[in-house]
Structure 1
């Protein structure tokens, strides 16, 4: 039941943001032309430029967080290998210590 509730909330939130985006696009239909230093952008509505900027921001955020995630996963793999190696070394030391204690008792 909780899974169904989470999906319902997600759908409501997405519908809300879609409504806000449509309202923003309708209210900001003015056509403008961006004049960047080296490039003249075509004439588009303010809302379309805002949506493009938002989309590019989302893509850049996903790429940067993906790169960070890959780096952290690499570190995690390296540390897991190190833990396995140290665990094997600890097991060997315990066995060696146990065998010397048994030899001393005999």
Structure 2
């Protein structure tokens, strides 16, 4: 039930930000030269440079978060292996104590 609401909210947000971006691009048609320390960019509109900056920032954030995600997935796999090993050890100890009790009970 909440999936459709979530989808609607995401769609409305995306459409809102697209509308703001288009409005910003229409209101700022000025052309500028981007002059960095070692590189001089071509003459493009202010809106295009800002959109490019946001896109590059989003890609960098995606890369950094994917590294953290992969690191946590690796840690989960390691901890699952340790858990399985400990569970197998506990099961073996339980079986050993049951067989010991049975052998003591037979005497």
Shift of 1:23: 0.7
TM-score by length of 1: 0.91
Q: Which residue of 1 aligns with 2:33?
A: 33
Question: How many residues matched?
Answer: 106
Aligned counterparts of 1:10 and 1:34: Cα–Cα separation in 2: 33
Unmatched 5+ residue regions in structure 2?
none
Q: Which residue of 2 aligns with 1:73?
A: 73
Q: Which residue of 2 aligns with 1:57?
A: 57
Aligned counterparts of 1:4 and 1:95: Cα–Cα separation in 2: 50
Aligned counterparts of 1:104 and 1:21: Cα–Cα separation in 2: 80
TM-score by length of 2: 0.90
Unmatched 5+ residue regions in structure 1?
none
Calculate the aligned-residue CA RMSD, in Å: 1.4
Aligned counterparts of 1:59 and 1:17: Cα–Cα separation in 2: 18
